[in-house]
Amino acid sequence: MKTPLYKYYDQLIKKLGPQNWWPAETDFEVIIGAVLTQNTNWKNVEKAIGNLKKYNLLDPLKLLQIDSETLGELIKPSGYFNIKSKRLKNFLRWFNENYSLDIDKLKSQPLDNLREEILSISGIGKETADSILLYALSKLTFVVDAYTYRILTRHELVPYEIDYDGLKNEIESELPKDLKIYNEFHALLVNVGKNFCKKSEALCDKCPLNKFLEGKSPAI
């Protein structure tokens, strides 16, 4: 018997199809994108990553070696560039000191240790850490965000006061332990949050999750 959230996943994959995240050519590019996407839209991240590619800098050692100001200039399109430049540098220094900039060494670590370590890097929050772990390092950890919270609270599946880890644990307890499902379900919820379940309006009539509302009227 499928859990409620597994049924949501089934419905979304059927109606919206695979989202094929993360849009990147390498695992390292996923990590850079996960840091840059904080508080901005993906188009701006693409421009910043495009600049790094243009100068052939999408490489851990090269990014570690360039100075923060130059890095900040290159990633300017992603916004908050001084802060993000520092965050990238913090990540790269940790990556170099602990894993010799070797992504396979990172991947070989157990999830719990690695999550704790990544969360100890200044400026890296839970959503960014879980995005890196799931999409770059193929670790079985679910990524939650404001879209996830909005959809699940509007469907009265979780309480309003739930925090990041509570929401993540709730979803993980309802899904099969399957990387592909974790990968797609987060991306599908982002799709729903952007296109149907918006902050200021809920386009329930057009939304693929409408059938699960069962007479509830979502609070906006």
Determine if 187 is a binding residue for ligand SF4 (CB under 6 A): no
Q: Binder to ligand SF4 among 129, 188, 196, 215 (CB under 6 A)?
A: 196
The residue length of the chain stands at 220
Give me 158's structure tokens: 């979780």
**Using CB under 6 A, which of the segments 42-50, 74-82, 112-120, 208-216 binds ligand SF4?**
208-216
What span, in angstroms and rounded, lies between the C-alpha atoms of 213 and 220?
A: 14
The answer for residues whose C-beta is within 8 angstroms of residue 32's C-beta and 6 or more apart is 49, 52, 58, 63, 88
Kindly write out the interface string for residues 139-158 of this chain, putting x where it contacts ligand SF4 by CB under 6 A and - elsewhere: ------------x--xx---
Rounded alpha-carbon distances, angstroms, from residue 136 to 128, 141, 197: 11, 12, 27
Asked if residue 203 binds ligand SF4 (CB under 6 A), the reply is yes
Please name the helix (run of DSSP H) or strand (run of DSSP E) that holds residue 54, with its range, or none.
helix 42-54
Binding segment for ligand SF4 (CB under 6 A), chosen from 87-95, 101-109, 123-131, 189-197, is 189-197
As measured in angstroms, the least distance from the Cβ of 9 to ligand SF4 is 13
Which residue ranges make up the site for ligand SF4 (CB under 6 A)? Answer: 151, 154-155, 192, 196-197, 202-204, 207, 209-210, 213, 218
